Amino acid sequence: MHMLYYTNLLGAVVTIILYVSAILVFVVRLIGKSEIGHWFGSIEFLMAIPMLYLLFKAPELNRPALYYIQIGLMLSWLIAEAFLDYFYKVNFRQVRWIVIVYITLFFAGTGGMLGVAANAGRGWSMITIILFLVMAVLAFVQRVVTGM
């Protein structure tokens, strides 16, 4: 029981850290400090470690297939982000079809993390839903304002 509780709590905390870090990235872009956004974005990459742990523990906790998909989508977005923005520094935000795929993967991953956080209980669900909505609004606002 303790393992399940702490694993669920870890999923909720990781989700909150992902959302808060994304919110900070969008806010600093809005105020014209996008270079600082890379530092906040680095926090998101660190969350891959506990997400991999959650995947490792998933069979032991009899997680459904959806759980693997939810975390897998988030990890997939992190990989895409790493290659596009950090390793190759591709200026892809001006290519419409790439932006559509990128944003779809981002929202699939971050939306899936709502399900991961929901395992920790209703209170954690409410916190993550609110943060997800704030993050989503800021994502679109900063895209319109900055084109990023």
Q: Tens of pLDDT along 67-111?
A: 999 999 999 999 999 999 889 988 888 899 999 999 999 999 999
- CB neighbour class for 17 (10 Å; exposed up to 12, middle 13-18, buried from 19): middle
Predicted structure pTM score: 0.95
DSSP state of 88: S
Q: In this structure, is the dihedral angle defined by the CA atoms of residues 21, 122, 105 and 75, taken in order, positive or negative? A: positive
DSSP state of 148: -
In this prediction, residue 12 has a pLDDT band, given cuts at 50, 70 and 90, of very high
8 A C-beta contact, residue 62 and residue 70: no
